[in-house]
Amino acid sequence: MKYLPLLWAGIWRKPLRTVLTVLSLAVGFFLFGTLQGVNRAFDAALTRSKTDRLLIGPRFDTPLPISAGDVIRRIAGVAEVTWTGFLRGSYQDPKQGVLVITTDPASFFSVRHEYQVAPAQLAALERTRTGLLVLEHLAKRFGWKVGDRITIANAAARKDGGSDWPFDIVGTFTNTANPGQIDFAVGNYTYLDEGRAQDTGTVTRYVIRVRDPRRSAAVARAIDAAFANSPTPSLSLGENEFASRDLATIGDVGRLTDAVMVAIFFALVFMSGNVVLQSVRERVAEFAVLKTVGYRDRHVMTLVVSEALALCLSGALLGLVLAALVFPALGRSMTDVSAWLGSRTLSAGALAAGIGFALALTLLSAALPVWNARRLQVVTALAART
């Protein structure tokens, strides 16, 4: 604690230099944080998808029939099967798109065990044909409450004409593993399938859980083989493959972001290293005095490292906070991409990586100055003072 005034004085010895250094670091960390955020969102989209799950969709344009579920269930290694029928429409404003995933609720929430739903509300959905369980974030966005009757407009054509689908909100569910998740609601497949004019008796995709994740590729091959000569060949993919197939279309993003981050790192190491080195060099005499009055090497060392740490951390925090503020706006401007990524916010992991980067930067930039300060001969240092 008693070193604090000394530390403070050291930092503000050359105010302009300190301000410029922090600004330069902040710019670097802003870019680092943003790119890390993008990279991590991509990675998370891949790993979040559980490897014990396979998504089975049509290989070509013809959707799989609901009867395919029985075939899939009989294939060795398949633990549990659920199916989905997507209903895309809008709420109030045609531009306000809503995705309703209709399914068999019990098996859906069992296969997708990362969603938390109250058992009573799940039971309510099973009881209510027109029931709807809504992701909490979506419910908040539209102000939907349990008991509300809402209409999804401009969706699939109905047998009775029109394309409006009324739903009764029976509850909400959350996904604590991925709070930035893209919004959707869960309804009953029977309601959709009995009401729609087209594609009756077909599913958008099957979602299955395999018994042994290590055998999921073999199970996928077995399922596709079972349907290979049917009128509706299937394409079974690990959930992570589904995500990455969409992500891959953006291009080799990782290569560019990695190169940029390496470039930033080099530039920042040289800059902050030089600033610390310079500031230590200018104060050789001061350090000699400190040593003369009884400061140990490690005290001087702590002082130098703390100064470097203060510089790097304040630059890092400034830059990362800015990145966290700008990231959601970036997502909004590229809705397609953020829908793929399934994330709207800068992940905590990206922030942590930024802080880790700042610590590495501190150590690297303080290493040479510390070594110099340790080698310091008090007599020569004082003699050099003119």
Partner 1 sequence: MSRASQVVAVTAAALRGLPGRAGASLVVVIGVAAVVAVLVCALAIASSFRAAAAKTGSPLRAIVLNGDDEADSGFSRQNAGAILNAPGVRAGPGMQVVGSAEAIEFVSLVDEHSGLNAYVTLRGVGPQLQRLRPELHMSEGRMFARGAHEVIAGRAAQSRLGGLKVGSTISLPNGPWTVVGTFSSGGDAHESEVLADAETLLNAYHRNDFNSVTVALRDPRDFAAFSAALAANPTLMVKAYREPEYFATMMKPVAQLLIAIAYGIGGIMALGAVFSALNTLYSAVSSRAVEIGTLRAIGFGAAPVVISVLAEALALGAIGAALGAGIAWLLVQGTTMSAMTGVTPSQLTFALSVGPAQMLTGVAVAALIVIIGGLLAALRSARVPVAAALRMS
CB of 165 to partner 1, least distance (A): 26
Task: Please identify, using beta-carbon distances, which residue of 106 and 263 lies nearer to partner 1.
Answer: 263
| Nearest distance, CB of residue 218 and partner 1, angstroms | 15
Q: In the bound complex, what is the minimum distance in angstroms from residue 105's beta carbon to partner 1? A: 29
Closest to partner 1 by CB, 61 or 93: 61
Q: Nearest distance from residue 125's CB to partner 1, in Å?
A: 33
> Would you tell me how many other CB atoms lie within 10 Å of the CB of residue 244?
17
Query: Taking the C-alpha atoms of 326, 330, 333 and 338 in order, what is their torsion angle to the nearest 10 degrees?
Result: -140
Alpha carbons 355 and 37: distance in angstroms, whole number: 13
> Minimum Å distance from CB 255 to partner 1?
7
Question: Which stretch of DSSP H or E encloses residue 382?
Answer: helix 378-383
Q: Indicate the helix (H) or strand (E) that contains 149.
A: strand 149-152
C-alpha span between 256 and 266 (Å, rounded): 16
Is the Cβ of residue 5 or residue 251 nearer to partner 1 in the bound state? 251
Whether 187 contacts 22, CB under 8 Å: no
* Residue closer to partner 1 (CB basis): 240 or 347: 240
**In the complex, what is the shortest distance from the CB of residue 35 to partner 1, in angstroms, rounded to a whole number?**
8
Q: Which is nearer to partner 1, 124 or 268 (by Cβ)?
A: 268
- What is the signed CA dihedral for 94, 97, 162, 169, rounded to 10 degrees? -120
42 touches 201 (CB < 8 A): no
- Rank residues 100 and 271 by Cβ distance to partner 1 and give the closer one: 271
Q: Minimum distance between the CB of residue 50 and partner 1, rounded to whole angstroms?
A: 16
| Separation of alpha carbons 156 and 163, rounded Å | 6
3 state SS for 256-269: HHHHHHHHHHHHHH
Which DSSP letter does residue 299 get?
H
Residue 306 tokens read as 């703390």
59 in helix, strand or coil? coil
Nearer to partner 1, 275 or 351 (CB): 275
Nearer to partner 1, 42 or 173 (CB): 42
The least CB distance from residue 63 to partner 1, in Å, is: 14
Q: Applying CB under 8 A, which residues contact partner 1?
A: 16-17, 20-21, 23-24, 27-28, 30-31, 59-61, 228, 233, 235, 237, 240-241, 244-245, 248-252, 255-256, 259-260, 263-264, 266-267, 270-271, 274-275, 277-278
d(CA 277, CA 296): 20
Q: With contact defined as beta carbons under 8 Å apart, do 80 and 208 qualify?
A: yes
